[in-house]
Amino acid sequence: MKNRLGFFKGNVSNVIIHAIHVGCCLMLYDTIAAVSTPLGEGGIGIVRISGEEALEIVKKIFVSPRGKDWYKGSHRMYYGHIVHPVHRGIIDEVLLSVMKAPHTYTREDVVEINCHGGTVPLREVLKTVIEAGARQGLPGEFTKRAFLNGRLDLTQAESVIDIIRAKTDSSLRVAMNQLKGALSGKITNIQDQMLGLLAGLEAAIDFPEDEVEEKTKIEMMKSAELIKIQLEELITGAETGKIYREGIRTVIAGRPNVGKSSLLNALLRENRAIVTEIPGTTRDIIEEMLNIRGIPLKLIDTAGIRETEDIVEKIGVEKTRESLEGADLVLLVVDVLTGITGEDKRVLGRFKDKKILVIMNKIDLQENDPADCGFPVVKLSALTGEGLKILEDKIVEVALAGGMNMPEAVTVSNVRHQTSIINAKKNMEDFIVSLKADLPPDLLSVELRAAWESLGEITGSTVTEDLLDRIFTDFCIGK
């Protein structure tokens, strides 16, 4: 009976065979060379060579003051000159880094020639290396080899280009996390859960008694739903434009007693800040992270803005002003009973270049048609929660629309990954429907397998040559 699942078992061994196959190919790769530093003037420039012949090729064109037997071992640097392979004319004075496989960037033998920076020396040295037997490397070919030789998985290899292109420190952090394997860890974990389900299917076939089967079915349904939820979470992260590392600095400001701390608590759904009817309750800054549909906000509750002689409160008000300076988004809270005051107008005037939402609070006390203040107004009651959802919608809208400088994604930052996850989720949904419809286990396994393979495209365990080409041609030469 077990071989009703033979299809799946076959697939696992296919993957293993594929890995071994890739391992064998290692020996078949030729030796490549490329300039790995940017074109133009620089202190130094590097020509990188990778492949079995790397050291042999360099030996033909490198002259050391220590004579012919200069090579003393791997992971050392050697001083000398690059010369023409035939007429022996000096081309550049260099330092060689020699790194023998497997402890190298590509897991192949790597030699790096550290030349004088500048277009001409680099071009001439590269030309010489190619005349001595190397082939010009294609874009991303070094990193592609690191992937094919198993040092990096695909998400890690892809993160290398994200690192190079990172525009902010948070996007760099996102990419570095991916390089360290955070995303692949998560994906592999979900894949393992799928394998667990497949094992469950197997058991279902082994023990066909009704009771066990019904129980197994319920359990499988549970894990399938759980897998689906995890996939959905990954998708939500990617769809909102990403999950951001730091969050949008959102400052809740306004005059004393208008309900700023109440709003903080309402948004957090938690009694975080002290609320009293005494104006000037909040003195210090209160910061809390809040996730609104995948968009993280760093919510900052502040002391109410007013002229005061109280020393502590005065410092608080000063801190409020500082917070406002650094805000990405300002929630200016106004009491509906008093409306927008002169103090509020001063804040609006001073911070008019920021994203501002005017919050007309306490609408449970009085209906009010807010006067036009030139800023979007949201009417709500922090006490009853009325209008809170509208505020959340508005915040999301402002965050996504407004060219706001938001940190890049933590989990899924790549459309390719997102597409594969969406496919996997679709496969899981099909699986759940089939499970409910009591379809035979071998059919069920086909859908599970499809989900597993969709995820495999992300880490590269089930990737096609075609896809690899598309990914790595996006790289620069020499990477």
Ligand X SMILES: Nc1nc2c(c(=O)[nH]1)N(C=O)[C@@H](CNc1ccc(C(=O)N[C@@H](CCC(=O)O)C(=O)O)cc1)CN2
Ligand Y SMILES: Nc1nc2c(ncn2[C@@H]2O[C@H](COP(=O)(O)OP(=O)(O)OP(=O)(O)O)[C@@H](O)[C@H]2O)c(=O)[nH]1
For the CA atoms of 270, 272, 278, 279, what is the dihedral angle to 10 degrees? Answer: -110
Query: Between 361 and 462, whose beta carbon lies closer to ligand Y?
Result: 361
**Of residues 261, 323, 413, 461, which one binds ligand Y by CB under 6 A?**
261
Which one of ligand Y, Mg ion, ligand X, none interacts with residue 307, CB within 5 to 8 A by kind? none
Question: Smallest distance, Å, CB 73 to ligand X?
Answer: 14
Query: Between 5 and 252, whose beta carbon lies closer to ligand Y?
Result: 252
Question: Smallest distance, Å, CB 237 to Mg ion?
Answer: 32
Q: 413: which 2 tokens?
A: 């930052």
Q: Does 279 bind ligand Y (CB under 6 A)?
A: yes
Query: Between 277 and 307, whose beta carbon lies closer to ligand Y?
Result: 277
Locus of tokens 């107008």 = 345
Write the binding mask 219 to 258 for ligand Y: x where contact by CB under 6 A, - elsewhere: -------------------------------------xxx
Query: What letter represents residue 222's amino acid?
Result: K
Site for ligand X in 30-89 (CB under 6 A): 46
Is residue 258 a known part of a binding site? yes
E strand or H helix at 59, and its extent? helix 54-61
Residue nearest to ligand Y (CB): 304
Question: Smallest distance, Å, CB 323 to Mg ion?
Answer: 13
φ, ψ dihedrals at 285, nearest 5°:
-80, 135
302 CB burial (10 A radius; 0-12, 13-18, 19+) = buried
| Closest listed residue to residue 356, CA positions, set 334, 388, 380, 389 | 334
Inter-residue long-range contacts of 166-173, CB under 8 Å, 24+ positions, other chains counted: 168/405, 168/407, 168/408, 170/244, 170/245, 170/246, 170/407, 170/408, 171/407, 171/408, 173/245
Question: Smallest distance, Å, CB 48 to ligand X?
Answer: 6
| Closest listed residue to residue 462, CA positions, set 157, 11, 158 | 11
Question: Smallest distance, Å, CB 331 to ligand Y?
Answer: 11
> What's the CA gap between 306 and 347, in Å, rounded?
11
Q: Does 151 bind ligand X (CB under 6 A)?
A: yes
Q: Does 158 bind ligand X (CB under 6 A)?
A: no
Site for ligand X in 91-110 (CB under 6 A): 103-105
Query: Between 97 and 368, whose beta carbon lies closer to ligand X?
Result: 97
> By three-state DSSP, how is residue 379 classified?
strand
E strand or H helix at 55, and its extent? helix 54-61
Interface with ligand Y (CB under 6 A), residue total 23
Angle of CA points 317, 322, 328, to nearest 5°: 120
**Of residues 82, 248, 275, 435, which one binds ligand Y by CB under 6 A?**
275
Question: Smallest distance, Å, CB 374 to ligand Y?
Answer: 23
Q: 129: which 2 tokens?
A: 């290396």
Is residue 381 a known part of a binding site? no
Q: Does 281 bind ligand Y (CB under 6 A)?
A: yes
Question: Smallest distance, Å, CB 391 to ligand Y?
Answer: 12
Question: How many CA atoms lie within 13 Å of 252's alpha carbon, on the beta-carbon side?
Answer: 34
Q: Does 365 bind ligand Y (CB under 6 A)?
A: yes
Locus of tokens 């000063």 = 318
> What's the CA gap between 319 and 336, in Å, rounded?
25
Question: Smallest distance, Å, CB 300 to Mg ion?
Answer: 12
Point out which residues bind ligand Y (CB under 6 A).
Answer: 256-262, 275-277, 279-282, 303-304, 361-362, 364-365, 381-383
Point out which residues bind ligand X (CB under 6 A).
Answer: 46, 103-105, 112, 151
Residue numbers in the known binding site are 48, 112, 151, 257-262, 276-282, 301-304, 479
Residue numbers in the known binding site for K(+) are 257, 276, 278, 281
Residue numbers in the known binding site for (6S)-5-formyl-5,6,7,8-tetrahydrofolate are 48, 112, 151, 479
